[in-house]
Chains A and B, each alone.
Chain A
Amino acid sequence: MHHSRKNKKKRNPIVIISILKIRDLESFSTNLGERFWVKVTFHLFDGRKLEAEGKVGDSLLDVVVNNDLDIDGYGACEGTVTCSTCHVVLKQKDFDRLPEEAGDEERDMLDLAYGLTDTSRLGCQVILTKDLDGLEVKVPESVNDARS
């Protein structure tokens, strides 16, 4: 392929970062040419509305962390799918157009999410694509909110 030389040259940095996170590799490669920014709005249960931008290939958790969004307790396990604190509820149409369905690990953990719905996902497993620009998600209350 006539691209091969170019690709090869660009692959070196990917190899290095892939050690940390496979997903980084995807985001890196989709962003080689241009950097796409995707807008996301988080509707919190207390009525607050947080808007932020993330790169294609980022997870919703990355968006929360990178933008320092103030969502109490969000993403406690740092995206290792052991906590379900990154739970978000999507609109049906967004839920349906996510490129990847929840995998087994995510489904097991979703089962433990507070206030689970049919269109729930774990934010650390929802990866932004270009199509998702303007995505709006609901961050449900946690059991701690419900108590106070």
Chain B
Amino acid sequence: MPYKIIRYICLKYLHKGGYSVEHVDQVCLSLRKEYGKCVKMAGLLGRPDMLFIFDAGEVERVFRGEDGAPHRPSMPSLNYYKHTLRKNFFGEEKDCAGVIAVHGDSWAAFRTKVSRVALSTGAAAQYTEQVGDVADAFINRVREIRNSKSETPDDFLNEVHKWSLESLGLIALDTRLGCFESCEGSESQRLIDAVNTFFLCVGELELRTPWWRIYPTAMFKKYVAALDTILSVTLSHVERALQECKDNSSKSLLQDLVTAAGPRVAAVAALDMFLVGIDTTSNAVASTLYQLSKRPEVQEKLYKEITGVLQGRPLKAGDVSQMPYLKACIKEVLRMYPVVIGNGRQLTKDTVICGYNIPKGTQVIFQHYVMGNSDEYFSNASEFRPERWLNRSTYKHHPFASLPFGFGKRMCLGRRFAELEMHIIICKMVNAFRMEYHHEPLEYHVHPMYTPNGPIRIKLIDR
């Protein structure tokens, strides 16, 4: 039998509106159970065929076989924005369209200009203190907004979004946006609103019937206006950085980018980072805080590690590398609850996968949520055990089963920054509070990040 063709499942689960989309995680688990490690979805209306891979060894082979410009399927609404609606801007200079929704040579050329600056080891560490300041501001803020039971308010996730945006503003734009005390009409507020609007719209546009392809719906217009705002704000900051660059040497990511690749590249890189770097990080942090709040013993171990390194002084660059358990906790959360539940590639050549010859153009989806939670790849997969990342020989572990940031030439461009931000905020939260959770356990849903569904009400007890 060549494939297990399961057209009816996709129709049933994937095209039926709100409920199903949020539970793609469950759908994928049951697909794996029913159909095995390699499942093809064919006959999807207006889409290329999809191949779900639940086999870490095959994921490894696909990744290792990648050519010079791996193609990650991108959101049609963004493709349309960059390459049709605003093609004058993104197409004006050669290879200046960014990395998101860009493919082939144009992607490779842009990525090369940016990746050395963004990903080189140590690129992020220079931000330790500033990102630490933002984390301190966040902690002050949550102290203020705790309710009478000392619990985080129902819109806690939104506060975490603000923290994430503030941190990224610092990294991508050299600017403290002032998200925690934003005032109406300010540029920061416009950016914050635009980013929020973008997130609200993008899910709707991508996951529901794409009427916007036929005519500009109200939702689509809001979406475009939000993208325009993000772009114009990033451009204005880049101009300022350009001025400041003249008399300064390497001081920040933005200045390095402007110097190495020019203002246009720097602005587009910042735009792309805003598009994918905010809700990923904030949902990962919210999820980690929630998981820790249910595990006092893990928190105690963390607290010991952190206080042992800090000895009462403020956090500085390099400290986090002395905190292996902290890093392991975050890896463990992202194994069990990866914010991006699956990553993918559109094959740029015919490829043999699970013994089948899969034609070029097929979208392959690596099912990291399912693989990360499978006993086949991680011993006692259903148990939260950060130790497995420290003591690899005692625990079974397949490195390609859990890849929260992807792999290879097209790996997450913001990984160093995301990790720095997460390590610092978790470190500081654990250091500041004992966290407890006294409500019904939360289910996770795909929204479109994989995140706890419901108010994250964590009791914060000052240490």
Contacts and interface: CB of A to CB of B under 8 A. Distances in A.
B60 A19 contact: no
Contacts of A78: 112, 115-116
A45 to B, nearest CB: 15
B119 interface: yes
A144 B62 CA distance: 10
B103 interface: no
Interface string B415-430: 1100000000000000
Given A83-B407, A83-B408, A143-B60, A19 B256 contact: yes
Interface size class of B (residues with CB under 8 A): 20 to 34
Contacts of B60: 143
Contacts of A77: 115, 408-409, 411
Contacts of B122: 22
A106 B256 CA distance: 23
Interface string A136-148: 0000001110010
Contacts of B407: 82-83, 112
Contacts of B11: none
A83 B409 contact: yes
Contact of A21 (B61, B120, B249, B409): B120
A32 interface: no
Given A19-B260, A105-B121, A112-B399, A79 B249 contact: no
Contacts, number: 69
B321 interface: yes
Interface string A1-21: 000000000000001101111
A82 B411 contact: yes
A103 interface: yes
Contact of A20 (B65, B66, B116, B408): B116
Contact of A106 (B61, B68, B121): B121
A103 B65 CA distance: 26
Interface in A19-42: 19-22
Interface in B58-87: 60-61, 64-66, 68
Contacts of B68: 76
B121 A81 contact: yes
Contacts of B112: 78
A83 B115 CA distance: 13
B250 A76 contact: no
A131 interface: no
Given A19-B259, A82-B407, A76 B66 contact: yes
Most chain B beta-carbon contacts within 10 A, residue among A22, A104, A105: A105
A114 B64 contact: yes
Contacts of B256: 19
Interface string A112-127: 1010000000000100
B327 interface: yes
A111 interface: yes
Contact of B327 (A18, A83, A104, A142): A104
B409 A142 contact: no
Contacts of A142: 64
B400 interface: yes
A66 interface: no
Contacts of B120: 21-22, 79-81
Chain A interface SS verdict (over half): loop
Contact residues of B: prevailing secondary structure: helix
A78 B259 CA distance: 19
Interface in A70-89: 76-83
Contacts of A22: 120, 122
A80 B65 contact: no
Contacts of B409: 76-77, 82-83
A82 B408 contact: yes
Given A103-B121, A104-B327, A143-B61, A21 B408 contact: no
Instruction: Tell which of A16, A80, A105, A111 has the most Cβ of chain B within 10 Å.
Output: A80
A115 B400 CA distance: 14
Nearest to A111: B399
A105 B416 contact: yes
B116 A79 contact: yes
B61 A82 contact: no
Contacts of B121: 81, 103, 105-106, 125
Nearest to B255: A19
A22 B117 CA distance: 10
Nearest to A110: B399
A74 to B, nearest CB: 13
A103 B116 contact: no
Contacts of B327: 104
Quick one: which of B68, B116, B400 has the most chain A CB within 10 A? B116
17 contacts: A19-B260, A22-B120, A76-B68, A77-B409, A80-B119, A81-B119, A82-B115, A82-B415, A83-B407, A83-B411, A104-B321, A112-B407, A125-B121, A143-B61, A143-B64, A144-B64, A144-B65
Interface of A: 15-16, 18-22, 76-83, 103-106, 111-112, 114, 125, 142-144, 147
**Top 9 A-B pairs ranked by shortest CB distance?**
A82-B411, A80-B119, A15-B249, A19-B250, A143-B64, A105-B121, A80-B115, A112-B399, A19-B259
Given A20-B116, A20-B260, A80-B116, 4 more contacts: A19-B256, A78-B116, A106-B121, A125-B121
